[in-house]
Amino acid sequence: MKKTWIAIAVAVAALGGSAFAAGSGHEPHGHGHSPWTMDAAQADKHIEMMVEHILPDGTAAQKSRVAEIAKACFNDVKPLHQQLQEGHEAMTKLLAQPSIDRAALESLRADHMKKMDQVSRRVMAAAMDAAEVLTPEQRAKFNGALHMMAASHMGSHMGSH
């Protein structure tokens, strides 16, 4: 289950942010810009390149379906990512005030966790949908590639704080 969660986390990371850093305002390293700020055509192209990179031995039908699943997930998660960013900024502002409004901060924290759960559920659903498209051998390779990307991505975020 741990490897599955890492694969899911990196699926979001590969699209420009991760469940662990959502709303942090940090841009993914090596991309030059955040996929969260891309227009739909740019995001679609980015996803297609990621699918090609992670699933080089997939059939055209499999790649198309996995890309379709990832695009739908990205489109569903993007507004939540924006809301998480806004919540993070609101928390930062509240923590900088002369007096601390614990009730407001707790409300923002609870809302943040609710949105993170929504992201987690949506990404898990997409991961399960994608897994059903792949053979067991392809899933193993796909998860291995995602695991390597997750380790790289998480390391870059850890070093940037």
Q: What is the pLDDT of residues 76-121, one digit of tens each?
A: 999 999 999 999 999 999 999 999 999 999 999 999 999 999 999 9
| Alpha-carbon distance values, 68 to 24, 36, 57, 143 (Å) | 27, 17, 17, 18
Q: Are the beta carbons of 150 and 9 closer than 8 angstroms?
A: yes
Residue with tokens 């841009």: 27
Q: What is the pLDDT of residues 1-23, one digit of tens each?
A: 444 444 555 555 454 433 333 33
Q: Are the beta carbons of 47 and 15 closer than 8 angstroms?
A: yes
d(CA 92, CA 146): 32
Nearest 10 degrees: Cα torsion 6, 119, 113, 32: 70
Burial grade of 60 (CB within 10 A; 0-12, 13-18, 19 or more): exposed
The answer to whether residue 145 scores a pLDDT higher than 90 is no
pTM for the whole thing?
A: 0.71
Residue with tokens 């969260």: 36
The answer to whether residue 48 scores a pLDDT higher than 70 is yes
d(CA 158, CA 29): 12
d(CA 76, CA 43): 13
Return the pLDDT at 39.
80
| Alpha-carbon distance values, 82 to 26, 46, 73 (Å) | 13, 19, 14
Return the pLDDT at 140.
83
Which among 14, 32, 13 is positioned nearest to 24, based on CA atoms?
13
Q: Are the beta carbons of 39 and 154 closer than 8 angstroms?
A: no
